[in-house]
Every structure is written in structure tokens, then in C-alpha cells.
Structure 1
Amino acid sequence: MQAPRPDDVAVLVQRLDERLTGPRPVDDLRRYFGIGLRPGQEAFSGARFEHLGGGGEGAGTADTVTATDLVAVETLSVRIPVELKLGLLEGPVGERLSALLREVPSGVDLADAPAQAVADGSPAARAWKLLTEQQGVGWVIAGKTLARKRPRLLPVYDTVVRCALGRPPSFWSTLRAALGHGGGALHHRLLELREAAGLPDTVSALRVCDVAVWMGHRTDGHACPR
């Protein structure tokens, strides 16, 4: 297992620090999740991602992709191919994914997770690879699907977030190291932002990070190559 490169961790810490500092992240979080909106404003559809149907880690469904999970993933502006939906719900790909999910830690924050939980070759990494091997599925849909099932451990990572934070060789491992850097300063800041925005504890620190970065970079005019 190869540890993330110190230079990559340092760059990610700096970029996260810039994105998570000041009053803007709180305002963006409140806007996204529909807190204190003005008349005529609506929350973003993705505000239901972690809460729809009780969430992806609910008792009895944490290791199985359900129809509700698929709807939740599509609130994040992606469309899952019909063939994959059927395969996840009724086919062998769903059975293979469930077997891998049973080996992925549940209910643990990425900042506190052991390095092997998100390392190359881990069950989580193999689940991501399984999804990306399906026709019509790229890294964005794969990541969002797994983030629904393990919202505290696996981050939402799309083209906007990648543009803002970069693309280290192993994003999960590098993000884990960045969140734990300096005694977990960034992780604690995410929890503080969640509280300041008035969000419930069911919104994970990773989701606070994703939304704050996505909203800020999107407003700044995200124009990075896909």
C-alpha cells in the first residue's frame, strides 16, 4: 500500500483551507440545503442526496443498492444507464457490489478511518472499479453511487470539485491525509461549518466539504477541462 505523496497532501490542504475559510462557505451551504431562502428560491435537488428514504446506510440496506439510492444519486445531476439500474437491483453486478460493500467500513468518518479502508485494492476501490467497468458509467457516477452508500467514508468527487481541488493519483487517500493533517483541523472545520449553517448531523463532514467546494467553484466560473 503506497501512502499519498506529502506534496499532494500539502497542496490539497492549502486548497481546502482556501475554500473553507470565511463567511462564504456557510452562506453557500445554507443556499444549497434551502435554509433561510428568500421567496421564490428553492433548495438544490442534491439537498436530498443523503436523506432520501432515510439515507444509504440505513439498517438492512447499507450493503445493497436500492431504487431509492438510484434516485438519490440522480439528484446530483447524473443519469444512470437503465441497464446498470436493472443490474444493480436484480442482476449479478448488484450481487458483486453488495459483497464488496459488506467489506467496506460503515459509520466511520474518512478522517478517522484506517488508511487501508480507501487504499488502492481495498474493497471500496474494487467497488469503484466494478462500477466504472459497466457500460456508460464513468468515475463520477461510480463515486456518487458509493458516496450514497458510505457518506461518511467516501466523498462525492465530480468535475467541478476536481477542478477546484486537483487530481492527485489517489484522491481518497490524499483527502484522508489532508483531513487528518494538523490533528484533524480541516475535519473539525467541516463540522463547525455544518453547525454554523444549521445543518443536521446526518449531513456528513465529507458532504459539507463537497457542497462548499462545489458551490464556491461553480460560482467562480468553473471552466476546467473535463
Structure 2
Amino acid sequence: MVDVDAAVVADGSPADQAWHLLRDQADVGWVIAGKLLARKRPRLLPVYDRVVRCALGSPPSFWLDLHAALGEDGAALYRRLLELRQAAGLPETVSALRVCDVVWMSHRALGHACR
């Protein structure tokens, strides 16, 4: 995600269109749609589910906000995620976004109640 133009994850982009198409299917809500896309494009699309929403709130565009955050300060957040991956002994095949997903899960593990 850090290496692409913001337009790739902006409203109306193919990724956004795919999310809407999935979400609009019977028995596929916003969480399942997002997790399917994150699984399909693990280096481009992050998981945004109830735990992440609980931790971060509901930004107008989670993808765009995270894209901006990953590139701020010379990509400091992105580099920190790579450091966490290395410290955990994970292979380079695990994307920075997947490391970020695990960090969100610590929110629940710390006892925060998410709805």
C-alpha cells in the first residue's frame, strides 16, 4: 500500500468498486467484504473490521487514511511495521499490512470491548 498512488485505494477505484460489489451480496457485510479483499491483496488492502473500528473509529476513508499514515515522516510507520515483523521472526512474505492487522488484534487482547 505504501508504494502505490492514493488513487489505487480511493473512492471509485477498482478496489473500492470490488468492496461495494462484495458488500452488496447476500450474507456478505462490510467486514467479510473487507477481509476477502485483504486476503486477495495482502500488500495493498488492510483488514478493517470491528476490532480496527473499535481501536481507530470510523474515518471517512480508512484505506486513504492508512495510506497517508504509512507514507508520513519518511514512511516511519511503514518502517516500524517492518521492524516489528523482523523482531517477531516473520518471513518477508508477511506484508507490513498483515503485521498491522496483528497489532490491531492486540487491542482486543488488552481487554478493550469492541462491538
TM-score by structure 2 length? 0.96
Gaps of 5+ in 1: 1-109
Q: Deviations over 1:119-152 (max 9, x none)?
A: 0000000000000000111111001101111100
Q: Number of residue pairs matched?
A: 115
Determine if contact 1:128/1:146 at 8 Å carries over to the other structure.
Answer: yes
Determine if contact 1:160/1:222 at 8 Å carries over to the other structure.
Answer: no
Give the 5 Å matches for 1:79-90.
none
1:217 is matched with 107
TM-score by structure 1 length? 0.50
Pairing partner for 1:161 from 23, 44, 52: 52
2:89 is matched with 198
Higher-Rg structure is 1
Distance 1:178 1:157 in 2: 15
Q: Deviations over 1:145-176 (max 9, x none)?
A: 01111100000111011111221010000000
Over 4 Å off, 4+ runs: none
Q: Give the alignment's Cα RMSD to 1 decimal.
A: 0.9
Give the 5 Å matches for 1:29-108.
none
Distance 2:69 2:7 in 1: 16
1:113 is matched with 4
In structure 2, what residue type is equivalent to 1:217?
H
Distance 1:200 1:179 in 2: 20
Cα shift at 1:222 = 2.6
